[in-house]
A and B are shown apart, each in its own frame.
Chain A
Amino acid sequence: MNLTLTSSHRKFIRTSSLNFIRYAVLLILGLVFIVPFYWMVSTSFKTPGQAYLFPPTWIPDPVSVEAYKSLWGTSVPFNLFIRNTIVIVIFSVIGTLLSSTLVAFAFARLKWWGRDVWFIVLLATLMLPYQVVMIPVYVIFRKLGWLDTYLPLIVPTYLGNPFYIFLIRQFFLTIPNDLEDAARVDGANSLRILLQIFLPNSKPVLLTVMLFAFVAGWNDFFGPLLYLRKLEQMTVSVGLSMFAGYRSPNWPAITAASTLSILPIVVMFVLFQRYFVKGIVLTGMKG
């Protein structure tokens, strides 16, 4: 009796000291992960004079919004970049959701010749590095006369994304058959079944895909870099890289632009962290 008490006692001491170490390490690592963000925001509220101080100051004094003001309609019209990016993202999120849902439904619930072979092909395309098709795709868009337009960035999203098709298909497979069968008996066609039964029951996966498509569109760098050349057409990501590429960079202004460029992502993240996590885990485990 006495023996078991001491051993459980010892175990208690050990787990609580382990927990203490766990929290100490988490706190330090957490700080290391947070500090870059803090540093970005704090630099953005400094005056150029304050930014170039050694040792650096942690809290801007005075707090200056000059950097943010300088982004509006100057030589680098950041307000325009934000507007352009929003336009592209809206159209590409709509395209992704429309096309990927239709195709996922075909793979999950319709019977057609060669379906399973096509599904393997779809998975195989996930492994193909984009660089292999990049040049011919560029040539196609050039022949179509689509350079310096948003079409090369938007149109492909209406042709389904293998990754999201896979995600949605996996979710559709979990929806019970009886709902669909009942609707078929009532004479509903496939499109109605998709719209009235599958979509309302698939909100989590659709939200995940929407978030991923939003993030991918907002962060896309290679696409705009390749297809856009006019300054007034640029997106946030390319604009930011141009901005930071200057010989004598103005760090408060650059960090202000960076802060604005990640703000929508952070807001989405805070609101929908659960769905981000679900998406990563699903694709990670089964991809």
Chain B
Amino acid sequence: MDLPGTTGGHTRHSPFIGPARLRIKRRTLLSNLEGYAFAAPWLVGFFVFTLGPFFSSIWYSLHQWDMVTEMKFIGLFNYTRIFQNDIFWKSVQVTITYVVMSLPASLTLAMILAILVNQQNPLMMFFRGVFFLPSVTSGVAVAVLWRWLFNPEFGLINYALSWFDIQGPMWLASERWALPAIAIMSLWGVGSTMLIYLAGLQSVPQHLYEAAEIDGAGLMQRFWRVTLPMMSPTIFFTLIMGMIGALQVFTQAYVMTRGGPNFATYFYVLNLYEEAFVKFRMGYASAMAWILFVAVLVVTLLQFRIAGHWVYHEAEINR
């Protein structure tokens, strides 16, 4: 074995490679080729449909472009126009209000359902199916169905309210109730979050509950002191995913209200979609997409920073 510096640099690049090393080199070359060949579909897709578009959308955002006439470079003008646009701020407000209305409620409901169905028997399998099914059915069918349920005159919801002598609102036709209606509908889709929580509940070590019970902890105490801390990483994950999902709401608003009445449900992505594919303001819409991207990124990073304070990690007690 050559010690570095004893034989001079050129020997390391010697053309006389022994047959064994040549074979190893050929083998690594082949295995590299093979690896890249197998990964090629995704690599091609990544460059063509993700990385390339990622950068060209920054480029577009600096231009005025309607896809018909020439692109015109306008610097950051799209961004200043966006920040001066009242409709933009309205859509931001609608989206944030929706997140605040729907996310805590749906995570709580998911947790309650998960606790309720956390038993091993065939009846529970049935209930799990019942709660999970709505979340796999199509967004459009769900939105269409709920439009019918929210129908002020013949809909089931106002009929049910009438049993309690409540005159139901106009729901989707009302500026005040349209957004809450969409948030209520979103509760119907908590099934997948419920399943994630259920898996989390089942992985809480049983001995912790036993220990808490011996110490005289009641049902509620066991939930607050054992279940919740142990579940906090899972809750954290669903919170982030839920927030990212809620920032990207489109189908419900498009199908149920088209953003109305009077922009009351004009979600951010609906605004973005209409700028791009109805008004064909591609530069402006690309700038909006980038603002969304930065918002998602900031929300995610912020949550990870805050998470240190309230998310419990198993590894910490094992130290």
Contact = CB atoms under 8 A, between A and B. Distances in A.
Interface of A: 18, 22, 25-26, 29-30, 33-37, 39-40, 43, 51-56, 99, 102-103, 105-107, 110-113, 115, 118, 121-122, 125, 127-140, 142, 156, 158-160, 162, 165, 190, 215, 218-219, 221-222, 225-226, 236-238, 240-241, 244-245, 251, 254-255, 258, 261-262, 265-266, 269-270, 273, 276-277, 280-281, 284-285, 287
Contacts, number: 247
A199 B241 CA distance: 31
Contact of A273 (B67, B129, B149): B129
A219 B28 CA distance: 44
Contacts of A36: 134, 145-146, 149, 156, 188
Contacts of B251: 221-222
B138 A237 contact: yes
Contact of A40 (B54, B145, B200, B247): B145
A143 B172 CA distance: 39
A106 to B, nearest CB: 4
Contacts of B138: 218-219, 221, 236-237, 261-262, 265
Contacts of B113: 29
Residue from B44, B45, B54 whose CB has the most chain A CB atoms within 10 Å: B45
A159 B56 contact: no
A135 B285 contact: yes
Prevailing SS type, chain A contact patch: helix
21 contacts: A25-B116, A55-B162, A107-B39, A111-B28, A111-B35, A118-B39, A129-B244, A130-B248, A132-B54, A142-B67, A215-B136, A219-B140, A236-B138, A240-B140, A241-B140, A244-B147, A254-B144, A280-B192, A281-B195, A281-B199, A287-B241
Nearest to B125: A273
Contacts of A255: 145, 148
B137 A265 contact: yes
A5 B57 CA distance: 73
Q: Is the interface of B mostly helix, strand, loop or mixed?
A: helix
Contacts of B99: none
Interface in B72-95: none
A235 B65 CA distance: 30
B116 A129 contact: no
B46 interface: yes
Nearest to A255: B148
Given A221-B139, A225-B254, A284-B196, 5 more contacts: A43-B148, A112-B39, A118-B43, A135-B285, A251-B154
A129 B248 contact: yes
The 6 closest A-B pairs by CB, nearest first: A112-B35, A159-B45, A136-B53, A106-B38, A284-B196, A160-B42
Max chain B Cβ within 10 angstroms of own Cβ: one of A110, A115, A136: A136
Given A26-B117, A39-B156, A121 B46 contact: yes
A52 B155 CA distance: 9
